[in-house]
Amino acid sequence: MTEKVRESSLFIDDITEELDRVIIGQKQMISRLIIGLLSDGHVLLEGVPGLAKTLTISSLAKAINTGFQRIQFTPDLLPADLVGTLIFNQRTGEFTVKKGPVFSNIILADEINRSPAKVQSALLEAMQERQVTIGERTFPLDDPFLVLATQNPVEQEGTYPLPEAQVDRFMMKIKIDYPSESEEMEIMRRMARTTKKETPKAVVHPQTILEARNTINEIYIDKKVEQYIVNIVMATRSSAKYGIKKIQGLVEYGASPRGTINLNLAARAHAFIQHRAYVTPEDVRAVAYDILRHRIVLTYEAEAEEIQTEDIIESILSHIQVP
Protein backbone atom coordinates (compact mmCIF):
# COMPACT_ATOMS: atom_id res chain seq x y z
CA MET A 1 0.00 0.00 0.00
CA THR A 2 2.87 2.37 0.80
CA GLU A 3 4.36 1.77 -2.65
CA LYS A 4 0.96 2.25 -4.28
CA VAL A 5 0.46 5.61 -2.54
CA ARG A 6 3.99 6.71 -3.39
CA GLU A 7 3.49 5.97 -7.08
CA SER A 8 -0.05 7.33 -7.39
CA SER A 9 0.84 10.58 -5.57
CA LEU A 10 3.78 11.54 -7.77
CA PHE A 11 1.56 13.82 -9.84
CA ILE A 12 1.12 16.09 -6.79
CA ASP A 13 4.71 17.26 -7.22
CA ASP A 14 4.03 18.00 -10.90
CA ILE A 15 1.01 20.15 -10.04
CA THR A 16 2.76 22.12 -7.28
CA GLU A 17 5.85 22.63 -9.45
CA GLU A 18 3.71 23.95 -12.30
CA LEU A 19 1.75 26.29 -10.02
CA ASP A 20 4.96 27.56 -8.43
CA ARG A 21 5.96 28.92 -11.85
CA VAL A 22 2.89 31.16 -11.85
CA ILE A 23 2.01 31.74 -8.17
CA ILE A 24 4.52 33.26 -5.76
CA GLY A 25 4.09 32.08 -2.16
CA GLN A 26 0.60 31.01 -0.97
CA LYS A 27 1.86 27.43 -0.41
CA GLN A 28 -0.90 26.66 2.09
CA MET A 29 -3.66 27.86 -0.23
CA ILE A 30 -2.31 25.66 -3.04
CA SER A 31 -2.03 22.56 -0.80
CA ARG A 32 -5.56 23.08 0.57
CA LEU A 33 -7.01 23.44 -2.93
CA ILE A 34 -5.33 20.17 -3.91
CA ILE A 35 -6.72 18.51 -0.76
CA GLY A 36 -10.22 19.71 -1.72
CA LEU A 37 -9.73 18.36 -5.24
CA LEU A 38 -8.56 14.96 -3.95
CA SER A 39 -11.30 14.76 -1.31
CA ASP A 40 -14.11 15.83 -3.65
CA GLY A 41 -14.84 18.75 -1.33
CA HIS A 42 -15.71 22.37 -2.13
CA VAL A 43 -13.44 25.12 -0.85
CA LEU A 44 -14.19 28.67 0.31
CA LEU A 45 -11.35 31.19 0.19
CA GLU A 46 -11.59 34.43 2.15
CA GLY A 47 -9.27 37.37 1.74
CA VAL A 48 -9.06 40.95 0.54
CA PRO A 49 -8.83 41.53 -3.23
CA GLY A 50 -5.47 41.14 -4.95
CA LEU A 51 -4.07 38.07 -3.14
CA ALA A 52 -4.07 35.79 -6.24
CA LYS A 53 -7.14 33.77 -5.25
CA THR A 54 -8.67 33.85 -8.73
CA LEU A 55 -5.31 33.32 -10.46
CA THR A 56 -4.51 30.27 -8.30
CA ILE A 57 -7.85 28.59 -9.01
CA SER A 58 -7.74 29.19 -12.77
CA SER A 59 -4.10 27.99 -12.85
CA LEU A 60 -5.07 24.79 -11.01
CA ALA A 61 -7.80 24.08 -13.60
CA LYS A 62 -5.28 24.53 -16.43
CA ALA A 63 -2.72 22.29 -14.71
CA ILE A 64 -5.17 19.37 -14.54
CA ASN A 65 -6.55 19.96 -18.06
CA THR A 66 -10.20 20.10 -17.07
CA GLY A 67 -13.26 22.26 -17.71
CA PHE A 68 -13.28 25.63 -15.97
CA GLN A 69 -15.92 28.34 -15.58
CA ARG A 70 -15.54 31.64 -13.76
CA ILE A 71 -18.80 33.13 -12.47
CA GLN A 72 -18.63 36.69 -11.20
CA PHE A 73 -21.23 37.09 -8.45
CA THR A 74 -22.88 40.51 -8.46
CA PRO A 75 -25.94 41.96 -6.67
CA ASP A 76 -28.05 41.67 -9.85
CA LEU A 77 -27.13 38.04 -10.67
CA LEU A 78 -30.11 35.68 -11.02
CA PRO A 79 -30.28 31.93 -10.22
CA ALA A 80 -30.97 31.24 -13.92
CA ASP A 81 -27.68 32.95 -14.80
CA LEU A 82 -26.00 30.26 -12.71
CA VAL A 83 -27.75 26.95 -13.42
CA GLY A 84 -29.52 27.70 -16.70
CA THR A 85 -33.14 28.14 -17.78
CA LEU A 86 -35.88 27.03 -20.18
CA ILE A 87 -36.19 28.99 -23.44
CA PHE A 88 -39.40 28.94 -25.51
CA ASN A 89 -38.91 28.21 -29.19
CA GLN A 90 -41.70 30.01 -31.10
CA ARG A 91 -41.08 27.99 -34.25
CA THR A 92 -41.57 24.57 -32.62
CA GLY A 93 -43.75 25.69 -29.72
CA GLU A 94 -41.53 23.81 -27.28
CA PHE A 95 -39.22 24.73 -24.42
CA THR A 96 -35.53 23.94 -24.78
CA VAL A 97 -32.97 23.79 -21.99
CA LYS A 98 -30.11 26.26 -21.98
CA LYS A 99 -27.50 25.06 -19.48
CA GLY A 100 -25.72 27.60 -17.31
CA PRO A 101 -22.00 27.95 -16.51
CA VAL A 102 -22.32 25.59 -13.51
CA PHE A 103 -22.08 22.71 -16.02
CA SER A 104 -18.31 22.39 -15.91
CA ASN A 105 -15.66 20.64 -13.79
CA ILE A 106 -14.12 23.43 -11.73
CA ILE A 107 -16.38 26.38 -10.91
CA LEU A 108 -14.83 29.59 -9.65
CA ALA A 109 -17.59 31.43 -7.78
CA ASP A 110 -15.83 34.77 -7.59
CA GLU A 111 -16.86 37.08 -4.73
CA ILE A 112 -19.74 34.76 -3.87
CA ASN A 113 -20.93 36.95 -0.99
CA ARG A 114 -21.65 39.92 -3.26
CA SER A 115 -24.90 38.23 -4.38
CA PRO A 116 -28.10 37.87 -2.32
CA ALA A 117 -29.00 34.62 -0.55
CA LYS A 118 -31.36 33.48 -3.35
CA VAL A 119 -28.48 33.27 -5.82
CA GLN A 120 -26.09 31.72 -3.30
CA SER A 121 -28.68 29.04 -2.52
CA ALA A 122 -28.93 28.14 -6.22
CA LEU A 123 -25.54 26.47 -5.78
CA LEU A 124 -26.79 24.22 -2.95
CA GLU A 125 -28.21 21.39 -5.07
CA ALA A 126 -25.21 21.42 -7.39
CA MET A 127 -22.74 21.34 -4.49
CA GLN A 128 -24.47 18.65 -2.43
CA GLU A 129 -26.26 16.43 -4.95
CA ARG A 130 -23.90 16.94 -7.92
CA GLN A 131 -26.95 17.59 -10.09
CA VAL A 132 -29.02 20.52 -11.37
CA THR A 133 -32.80 20.65 -11.96
CA ILE A 134 -34.06 22.89 -14.76
CA GLY A 135 -37.84 22.82 -15.18
CA GLU A 136 -38.89 19.19 -14.78
CA ARG A 137 -35.57 17.67 -15.86
CA THR A 138 -32.59 16.83 -13.67
CA PHE A 139 -29.09 16.83 -15.14
CA PRO A 140 -26.10 15.13 -13.48
CA LEU A 141 -22.90 17.17 -13.33
CA ASP A 142 -19.57 15.96 -14.70
CA ASP A 143 -16.98 14.34 -12.46
CA PRO A 144 -14.80 15.82 -11.08
CA PHE A 145 -17.05 18.71 -10.02
CA LEU A 146 -15.65 21.26 -7.59
CA VAL A 147 -16.87 24.67 -6.45
CA LEU A 148 -14.01 26.92 -5.41
CA ALA A 149 -15.52 30.14 -4.10
CA THR A 150 -13.83 33.37 -3.10
CA GLN A 151 -15.35 35.91 -0.76
CA ASN A 152 -14.36 39.27 0.62
CA PRO A 153 -14.26 39.76 4.39
CA VAL A 154 -17.81 40.44 5.61
CA GLU A 155 -16.78 43.82 6.99
CA GLN A 156 -16.37 45.16 3.45
CA GLU A 157 -19.01 47.22 1.63
CA GLY A 158 -21.72 45.42 -0.36
CA THR A 159 -21.35 41.92 1.05
CA TYR A 160 -24.09 39.47 2.08
CA PRO A 161 -23.25 36.85 4.72
CA LEU A 162 -23.49 33.31 3.35
CA PRO A 163 -26.37 31.19 4.74
CA GLU A 164 -25.20 28.67 7.36
CA ALA A 165 -26.56 25.76 5.27
CA GLN A 166 -24.38 26.74 2.33
CA VAL A 167 -21.29 27.51 4.41
CA ASP A 168 -21.47 24.02 5.94
CA ARG A 169 -21.40 22.48 2.47
CA PHE A 170 -17.92 23.84 1.91
CA MET A 171 -15.38 21.29 3.04
CA MET A 172 -12.82 23.95 3.96
CA LYS A 173 -12.65 27.65 4.55
CA ILE A 174 -9.19 29.05 3.89
CA LYS A 175 -8.14 32.48 5.11
CA ILE A 176 -5.66 34.10 2.74
CA ASP A 177 -3.13 36.50 4.23
CA TYR A 178 -0.75 39.04 2.70
CA PRO A 179 2.55 37.75 1.27
CA SER A 180 5.82 38.17 3.16
CA GLU A 181 8.26 40.97 2.32
CA SER A 182 10.48 38.69 0.22
CA GLU A 183 7.46 37.26 -1.61
CA GLU A 184 6.17 40.80 -2.24
CA MET A 185 9.53 41.70 -3.79
CA GLU A 186 9.41 38.64 -6.06
CA ILE A 187 5.81 39.42 -7.06
CA MET A 188 6.80 42.95 -8.03
CA ARG A 189 9.81 41.83 -10.07
CA ARG A 190 7.90 39.12 -11.91
CA MET A 191 4.53 40.78 -12.43
CA ALA A 192 5.35 44.46 -12.97
CA ARG A 193 5.52 43.99 -16.74
CA THR A 194 3.25 44.85 -19.66
CA THR A 195 4.15 41.63 -21.50
CA LYS A 196 1.97 38.50 -21.33
CA LYS A 197 2.29 36.65 -18.03
CA GLU A 198 3.31 33.00 -17.87
CA THR A 199 0.46 30.46 -17.81
CA PRO A 200 0.61 26.90 -16.47
CA LYS A 201 0.64 23.88 -18.78
CA ALA A 202 -1.56 20.80 -18.39
CA VAL A 203 0.48 18.25 -16.44
CA VAL A 204 -2.25 15.93 -15.09
CA HIS A 205 -5.31 14.26 -16.64
CA PRO A 206 -8.63 14.45 -14.72
CA GLN A 207 -8.76 10.62 -14.70
CA THR A 208 -5.60 10.65 -12.55
CA ILE A 209 -7.48 12.70 -9.93
CA LEU A 210 -10.39 10.23 -9.89
CA GLU A 211 -7.98 7.29 -9.48
CA ALA A 212 -6.18 9.12 -6.65
CA ARG A 213 -9.52 9.52 -4.83
CA ASN A 214 -9.93 5.72 -4.85
CA THR A 215 -6.42 5.33 -3.42
CA ILE A 216 -7.16 7.86 -0.67
CA ASN A 217 -10.15 5.74 0.42
CA GLU A 218 -7.71 2.89 1.11
CA ILE A 219 -5.30 4.95 3.25
CA TYR A 220 -5.08 3.46 6.74
CA ILE A 221 -6.43 5.42 9.68
CA ASP A 222 -6.10 3.89 13.13
CA LYS A 223 -9.05 3.66 15.54
CA LYS A 224 -7.22 5.93 17.98
CA VAL A 225 -6.87 8.61 15.30
CA GLU A 226 -10.56 8.20 14.41
CA GLN A 227 -11.43 8.69 18.09
CA TYR A 228 -9.17 11.76 18.15
CA ILE A 229 -11.17 13.26 15.26
CA VAL A 230 -14.48 12.54 17.00
CA ASN A 231 -13.21 14.05 20.27
CA ILE A 232 -12.16 17.27 18.52
CA VAL A 233 -15.56 17.71 16.84
CA MET A 234 -17.52 16.75 19.97
CA ALA A 235 -15.51 19.30 21.98
CA THR A 236 -16.84 22.08 19.73
CA ARG A 237 -20.35 21.12 20.87
CA SER A 238 -19.73 20.26 24.53
CA SER A 239 -16.51 21.76 25.88
CA ALA A 240 -17.53 21.04 29.50
CA LYS A 241 -17.44 17.30 28.84
CA TYR A 242 -13.77 17.58 27.92
CA GLY A 243 -12.90 20.02 30.71
CA ILE A 244 -12.12 22.97 28.43
CA LYS A 245 -13.28 25.74 30.76
CA LYS A 246 -11.64 28.49 28.73
CA ILE A 247 -14.23 28.30 25.93
CA GLN A 248 -17.38 27.53 27.95
CA GLY A 249 -20.19 29.91 27.07
CA LEU A 250 -18.41 31.13 23.94
CA VAL A 251 -19.77 28.64 21.38
CA GLU A 252 -23.42 28.85 20.28
CA TYR A 253 -23.29 25.93 17.85
CA GLY A 254 -20.52 23.40 17.29
CA ALA A 255 -19.45 21.59 14.13
CA SER A 256 -21.95 19.34 12.36
CA PRO A 257 -21.29 15.68 11.43
CA ARG A 258 -19.99 17.02 8.11
CA GLY A 259 -17.08 18.34 10.15
CA THR A 260 -16.22 14.82 11.34
CA ILE A 261 -16.50 13.35 7.84
CA ASN A 262 -14.45 16.11 6.22
CA LEU A 263 -11.78 16.05 8.92
CA ASN A 264 -11.27 12.36 8.22
CA LEU A 265 -11.19 12.84 4.44
CA ALA A 266 -8.89 15.87 4.56
CA ALA A 267 -6.48 14.10 6.92
CA ARG A 268 -6.27 11.17 4.48
CA ALA A 269 -5.67 13.55 1.56
CA HIS A 270 -3.00 15.39 3.58
CA ALA A 271 -1.24 12.07 4.21
CA PHE A 272 -1.51 11.28 0.48
CA ILE A 273 0.15 14.59 -0.42
CA GLN A 274 2.98 13.65 1.95
CA HIS A 275 3.25 10.31 0.06
CA ARG A 276 2.20 8.32 3.14
CA ALA A 277 -0.20 5.36 3.31
CA TYR A 278 -1.37 6.08 6.87
CA VAL A 279 -2.85 9.01 8.79
CA THR A 280 -1.12 10.56 11.82
CA PRO A 281 -2.57 12.98 14.42
CA GLU A 282 -0.39 15.65 12.80
CA ASP A 283 -2.39 15.26 9.58
CA VAL A 284 -5.58 15.90 11.55
CA ARG A 285 -4.14 18.95 13.30
CA ALA A 286 -2.80 20.34 10.00
CA VAL A 287 -6.26 20.56 8.45
CA ALA A 288 -8.37 21.12 11.60
CA TYR A 289 -8.47 24.93 11.35
CA ASP A 290 -9.58 24.92 7.70
CA ILE A 291 -12.25 22.26 8.31
CA LEU A 292 -13.74 23.72 11.50
CA ARG A 293 -13.38 27.53 11.36
CA HIS A 294 -16.63 28.06 9.41
CA ARG A 295 -18.59 25.41 11.32
CA ILE A 296 -18.36 27.02 14.76
CA VAL A 297 -20.91 29.74 15.57
CA LEU A 298 -19.84 32.02 18.41
CA THR A 299 -22.08 33.56 21.08
CA TYR A 300 -22.61 37.31 21.39
CA GLU A 301 -20.34 37.24 24.42
CA ALA A 302 -17.48 35.81 22.34
CA GLU A 303 -18.03 38.39 19.61
CA ALA A 304 -18.07 41.19 22.20
CA GLU A 305 -14.71 39.96 23.50
CA GLU A 306 -13.43 39.80 19.87
CA ILE A 307 -12.75 36.08 20.14
CA GLN A 308 -12.25 34.29 16.81
CA THR A 309 -13.18 30.72 15.90
CA GLU A 310 -9.45 30.05 15.48
CA ASP A 311 -9.03 30.77 19.22
CA ILE A 312 -11.68 28.15 20.01
CA ILE A 313 -10.00 25.55 17.78
CA GLU A 314 -6.59 26.31 19.30
CA SER A 315 -7.98 25.74 22.83
CA ILE A 316 -9.57 22.45 21.77
CA LEU A 317 -6.43 21.13 20.07
CA SER A 318 -4.30 22.03 23.08
CA HIS A 319 -6.67 20.19 25.50
CA ILE A 320 -7.67 17.04 23.60
CA GLN A 321 -5.18 14.28 24.26
CA VAL A 322 -3.15 13.33 21.18
CA PRO A 323 -2.99 9.54 20.60
CA dist., res. 102 & res. 306, Å (int):
37
CA dihedral 104, 109, 115, 121 (to 10 degrees): 60
Indicate the residue among 193, 210, 227 that finishes a domain.
210
Statement to judge: residues 113 and 194 lie in one domain: yes
Amino acid identity of 111? E
pLDDT, mean over the chain: 86
Statement to judge: residues 87 and 182 lie in one domain: yes
Indicate the residue among 192, 210, 228 that finishes a domain.
210
Handedness of CA 129, 58, 286, 173 (dihedral sign): negative
Statement to judge: residues 165 and 255 lie in one domain: no
Confidence of residue 43 (pLDDT cuts 50, 70, 90): very high
Statement to judge: residues 43 and 148 lie in one domain: yes
Mean pLDDT confidence for 71-85: 87
What pLDDT shows up at residue 266? 95
What pLDDT shows up at residue 154? 60
pLDDT tens digits, one per residue of 255-309: 989 999 999 999 999 999 999 999 999 999 999 999 999 998 888 888 888 888 8
Q: Is residue 156 over pLDDT 70?
A: no
Statement to judge: residues 250 and 275 lie in one domain: yes
Is the separation of the CB atoms in 285 and 266 below 8 Å? no
What pLDDT shows up at residue 269? 94
Structural domain of 113: 2-210
Is the separation of the CB atoms in 2 and 271 below 8 Å? no
Mean pLDDT confidence for 93-122: 84
What pLDDT shows up at residue 166? 76
